[in-house]
Amino acid sequence: MLHMHEWILEWMQWVTDWGYWGVIVLMAMESSIIPVPSEVVVPPAAILAAMPNAEMSFWGVVLAGTVGSYVGSVIMYYTALWAGRPFIYRFGKYFFMPRHKVEKAEEFMRRYAAGGIFFARFLPVIRHLISIPAGMAKVSFLKFSVSTIVGSAIWCWVLAWFGDKVGRNNPNILNSPEELIAAIKAESHLIVLGIVLLAVLYAVMKYMTREKKSDQAE
């Protein structure tokens, strides 16, 4: 059985061998129940795209990552929509979806409503689970799609940008997956913090708006 380090090397090899298709497949897995770190998919692809005579381009990597994220999210959305909450709660633990994590994603979506689907695309753990409560709550598929596509596109651009930056500073970093992940996380933590703050402000705005509407009704 492969250890996580070996899996990471294998996934990075998919990007190298399959190009855009490798990015699409892996990001679809990342947005579903398979815990593939997006940091070992998009940044390495961006690094490869920056090399001379590369077969991929920066924006091609962003597009492939967005498509993959959307495909995986749609699969999870419809799985939750058709299976329902009791099934997910009972059997989710066998598919990397323990009840406490699903409930955490549900609470996040309830708190931030449709915006939660967008903000979740930037947050670890919640990112690959948010499609499940969206499906269970029967969120409008159009609203779900727009939020997912926009959020995924921005996140893939962030990862590609940081990957390109890190790769130019350290051309040999692809030989050390753990060092690449650490470098990307160190570079992007301020982005994640900013997204969390925006999500909180969004929730406060919705709460204040709801209160005003209630007063008007009275």
Chain segment 74-131, per-residue pLDDT in tens:
999 998 888 877 777 777 776 667 777 777 777 777 776 667 788 778 777 777 788 8
> Looking at the domain assignment, is residue 165 inside a domain?
yes
19: region left, alpha or beta (phi > 0 left; psi from -120 to 50 alpha): left
Q: What is the pLDDT confidence band of residue 213, given thresholds at 50, 70 and 90?
A: very low
pLDDT for 209: 52
> Minimum mean pLDDT among 4-8, 10-14, 22-26: which range?
4-8
> Looking at the domain assignment, is residue 8 inside a domain?
yes
Query: Of 57 and 206, which is predicted with more confidence?
Result: 57
> DSSP characters for 37-91?
-GGGTHHHHHHHHTSTT-SS-HHHHHHHHHHHHHHHHHHHHHHHHHH-HHHHHHH
pLDDT at position 42 over 60: yes
pLDDT for 77: 92
User: DSSP letter at 93?
Assistant: G
Q: How many domains does the chain have?
A: 1
> Looking at the domain assignment, is residue 218 inside a domain?
no
pLDDT at position 23 over 90: yes
pLDDT for 206: 60
pLDDT for 215: 46
The Cα–Cα gap between 61 and 43 comes to: 9
Q: What is the mean pLDDT of the chain?
A: 79
CB 188 within 8 A of CB 159: yes
The Cα–Cα gap between 64 and 4 comes to: 24
pLDDT at position 138 over 90: no
Residue reference for tokens 């899996």: 7
Query: Of 127 and 212, which is predicted with more confidence?
Result: 127
Nearest to 125 by CA among 107, 102, 148: 102
Distances (CA, A) of 218 to 18, 191, 205, 212, 215: 61, 41, 20, 10, 5
Q: What is the pLDDT of residues 162-193, one digit of tens each?
A: 888 877 777 777 777 777 777 766 666 666 66
Provide the residue range defining the domain that includes 168.
4-213
> Looking at the domain assignment, is residue 140 inside a domain?
yes
Global model pTM greater than 0.75: yes
pLDDT at position 18 over 70: yes
pLDDT for 216: 45
Average pLDDT over residues 36-45: 86
pLDDT at position 155 over 50: yes
